[in-house]
């Protein structure tokens, strides 16, 4: 996964520096090759590497930790059974999240959850949420403010349409680059950028209303 | 003068996604526009919150519980050797058990086993022959049906004329293309990075 600027290096998940990206790709390919030869330990290493980012993604998409853990298990089993179709020329994390995304879509289709149109216009209302931000430094007050905003974001995330929420989560929780998200979702990069932006503005407006 | 309501560029700026020209343009505008500075400060706070959402807790034994559910069959290690070895072991255990229970010698056991096999095979032979006959009959019926279908199709096509045939071929091609694209989408699990 590419690491966008401004992301914190201490966050969990496969946060990779650009120089190490190639070596991580080859490490993943090696683990997959070993798993295909029957080395279960190699697949366990893959599970350990991706269990946290996958649970973060599925957790934010389902809103429930237990459901997220169940989904994560199911995705790993699906991945294990499909390892033969993985091509090392492609990035493993992108392939993994594509399977996870398709798994979620299948689940929603089976449950027939109501989804909102992607063409839903974003309100032009640009009123300020917190007009006074005098000190951008990491003061205690600011930390409290951030913690409160994070809680509001968690609540607001559940109320925005899945298609927008998913792109937001892939970008800001899983730290994929816009290009990687475009690969995972088979969408043009411009569309991904615009929908991530729309998701953020939806969150901002819902937080204003809460 | 840039559009003050373009909030998307604020987020892209905070993510370092703007090119040098766009970045400099925005920075120059911010110096002159207090409203945009305020809007950017708001987005900066939100952006910091977006990128620092807490992770979901994963149990320490989660990977092991996943591995417990991984099917053994996909292991690929066992191959043909394990079933063969277990089959032979079962045969040996069976023969030994027979010898211990009945007191018959191993050669007697082998003779008895071969007799029971040959008598069982003799009884099954007519059944195999009947099954083969039924299979041949079904094949005959299927070939007749296919021939009839071919003739019907030929008559139908000859009654259509060149325009009709062209239309049907076009529809067939379109349907095949749609099926191909659908299957590709269904199976496309690896996308290029």
Is the minimum CB–CB distance between A177 and chain B shorter than 8 Å?
Answer: no
DSSP character string of chain A: ----TT--TTSSS----HHHHHHHHHHHHHHHHHHHTT-HHHHHHHHHHHHHHHHHHHHHHHS-HHHHHHHHHHHHHHHHHHGGG--TTS-HHHHHHHHHHHHHHHHHHHHT-----TTPPPP-----SS------S--HHHHHHHHHHHHHHHHHHTTS-HHHHHHHIIIIIS---HHHHHHHHT--HHHHHHHHHHHHHHHHHHHHH-
Q: What is the pLDDT along chain B (193 residues), one digit of tens a residue?
A: 455 758 889 999 999 999 999 999 999 999 999 999 999 999 999 999 999 999 999 999 999 999 999 887 544 444 566 678 888 888 878 777 766 776 766 677 677 767 777 787 788 888 899 999 999 999 999 999 999 999 988 888 788 777 877 888 889 899 998 888 877 666 554 443 3
Report which of residues B151 and A2 the model is more confident about: B151
Q: Is the pLDDT of residue A153 over 50?
A: yes
pLDDT of residue B157: 78
Is the minimum CB–CB distance between A95 and chain B shorter than 8 Å?
Answer: yes
Q: How confident is the model at residue A139 (pLDDT cuts 50, 70, 90)?
A: low
CA distance A114 to chain B (A): 22
User: Which residue is it, tokens 């407006």?
Assistant: A205
pLDDT of residue A102: 94
Residues of A in contact with B8 (CB under 8 A): 193-194, 197
Is the minimum CB–CB distance between B59 and chain A shorter than 8 Å?
Answer: yes
CA distance B41 to chain A (A): 6
Q: What is the pLDDT of residues A92-109, one digit of tens each?
A: 999 999 999 999 999 888
Sign of CA dihedral B154, B158, B159, B164: positive
Helix (H, G, I), strand (E, B) or coil at B71: coil
Kindly state the helix (H) or strand (E) to which residue B189 belongs, with its residue range.
Answer: none
pLDDT of residue B3: 57
Lowest mean pLDDT among A126-135, A141-150, B76-85, B87-96: A126-135
Look over chain A and give the mean of its residue pLDDT values, rounded to a whole number: 80
Q: Is the pLDDT of residue A49 over 80?
A: yes
Do A115 and A108 contact (CB within 8 A), yes or no? yes
**ipTM for this model:** 0.72
Q: CB-CB: which of A81, A89, A200 is closest to B74?
A: A81
Q: Do A128 and B8 touch (CB under 8 A)?
A: no
The two three-digit tokens of residue A63, written as one number:
């809103």
Residues of B in contact with A204 (CB under 8 A): 42, 46
Report which of residues A146 and A36 the model is more confident about: A36
Lowest mean pLDDT among A42-56, A78-92, A100-114, A180-194: A100-114
Q: Where are the alpha helices (DSSP H) in B6-105?
A: 7-14, 20-32, 34-50, 62-69, 81-102
pLDDT of residue A126: 35
């Amino acid at each position: 996964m590419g690491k966008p600027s401004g992301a914190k290096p201490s966050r969990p998940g496969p946060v990779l520096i650009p120089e190490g990206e190639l070596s991580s790709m080859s490490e993943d390919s090696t683990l997959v090759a070993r798993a295909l030869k029957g080395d279960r330990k190699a697949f366990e290493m893959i599970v350990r590497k991706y269990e946290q980012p996958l649970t973060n993604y599925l957790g934010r998409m389902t809103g429930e930790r237990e459901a997220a853990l169940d989904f994560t298990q199911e995705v790993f089993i699906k991945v294990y059974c499909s390892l033969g179709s993985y091509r090392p020329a492609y990035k493993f994390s992108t392939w993994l999240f594509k399977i996870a995304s398709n798994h979620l879509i299948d689940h929603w289709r089976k449950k027939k959850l109501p989804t909102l149109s992607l063409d839903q216009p974003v309100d032009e209302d640009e009123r300020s949420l917190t007009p006074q931000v005098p000190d951008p430094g990491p003061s205690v007050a600011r930390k409290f403010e951030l913690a409160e905003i994070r809680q509001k974001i968690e609540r607001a995330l559940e109320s925005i349409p899945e298609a927008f929420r998913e792109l937001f989560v892939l970008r800001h929780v899983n730290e994929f680059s816009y290009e990687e998200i475009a690969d995972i979702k088979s969408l043009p990069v411009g569309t991904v950028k615009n929908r991530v932006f729309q998701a953020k503005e939806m969150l901002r407006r819902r937080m204003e209303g809460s | 003068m840039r559009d003050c309501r373009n909030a998307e560029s604020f987020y892209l700026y905070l993510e370092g996604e703007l090119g040098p020209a766009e970045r400099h343009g925005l920075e120059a505008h911010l110096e002159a526009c207090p409203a945009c500075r305020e809007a950017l400060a708001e987005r900066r706070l939100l952006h910091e919150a977006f990128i620092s959402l807490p992770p979901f807790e994963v149990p320490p034994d989660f990977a092991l519980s996943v591995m417990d559910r991984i099917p053994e069959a996909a292991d690929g290690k066992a191959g043909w050797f394990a079933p063969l070895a277990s089959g032979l072991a079962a045969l040996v255990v069976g023969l030994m058990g027979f010898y211990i229970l009945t007191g018959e010698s191993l050669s007697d056991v082998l003779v008895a086993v071969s007799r029971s096999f040959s008598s069982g095979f003799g009884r099954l032979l007519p059944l195999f022959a009947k099954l083969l006959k039924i299979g041949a009959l079904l094949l005959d019926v299927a070939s007749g049906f296919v021939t009839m279908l071919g003739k019907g199709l030929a008559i139908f096509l000859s009654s259509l004329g060149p325009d009709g045939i062209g239309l049907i071929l076009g529809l067939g091609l379109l349907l095949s293309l749609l099926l191909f694209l659908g299957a590709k989408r269904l199976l496309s699990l690896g996308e290029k990075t």
